[in-house]
Amino acid sequence: MLRNLARRLERQAPGSAASILEGLDEILCVVRLGIPYQLRRSLACTNIIENLNATIRQVTRNVKRWRHASMALRWVAAGMMEASKGFRRLKAYEQLPKLRKALLNIEKRRRPASNDNPRLGCKRKIAVMTKMRTAA
């Protein structure tokens, strides 16, 4: 269905079609988890990332000469700390235990896959997310 939409948009809006195809694995990964719609919608929204990037841009805009990589990292960290002041609670925060449960269920069913498996990207992302949650 999404591939058909991208094919129809190819002539009128090639950028939109490319974005759909680029994010296809991530979209399907979130849908495969079987989490509630409200949480899926919150996770699919890029506003928090865009807000973070805009704040970092604003904080670092007056730096004229970047001397080295650690200086850039410090300024980005300062921008992230500034952006965190404006973060609000995730609307579907009550449903986060369901996300954790879904990730753990996927991890339990996960088997080592070869590199030619098209779902490997999604499985790797799920494994990384699960490890991050269990480490916290």
Other beta carbons within 10 Å of 130: 19
User: pLDDT by residue (tens digit) across 40-71?
Assistant: 887 777 777 888 899 999 999 989 898 889 99
- Mean pLDDT (whole number) for 4-31: 75
Dig out the tokens for 124 from the structure.
């790797």
Q: In this structure, which amino acid lies at residue 89?
A: R
In terms of pLDDT, which residue wins out, 105 or 27?
Answer: 105
CA gap 67, 43 in Å, rounded: 36
Task: List Cβ neighbours of 44 (8 Å cut-off, separation of 6 or more).
Answer: 27, 30
CA gap 8, 49 in Å, rounded: 29
Q: Which of 73, 135, 126 is nearest to 104 (CA)?
A: 126
pLDDT at 7: 81
Count of all residues that appear for the chain in the document: 136
In terms of pLDDT, which residue wins out, 4 or 59?
Answer: 59
- The answer to whether the beta carbons of residues 20 and 5 sit under 8 Å apart is yes
At residue 80 the predicted structure's pLDDT band, cuts being 50, 70 and 90, is: very high
The domain locations on the chain are: 33-135
- How many C-alpha atoms does 136 have within 13 Å on its Cβ side? 7
* CA 74 to centroid of chain Cα atoms: 23
Percent of the chain with pLDDT over 90: 16
State the pTM of this model: 0.49
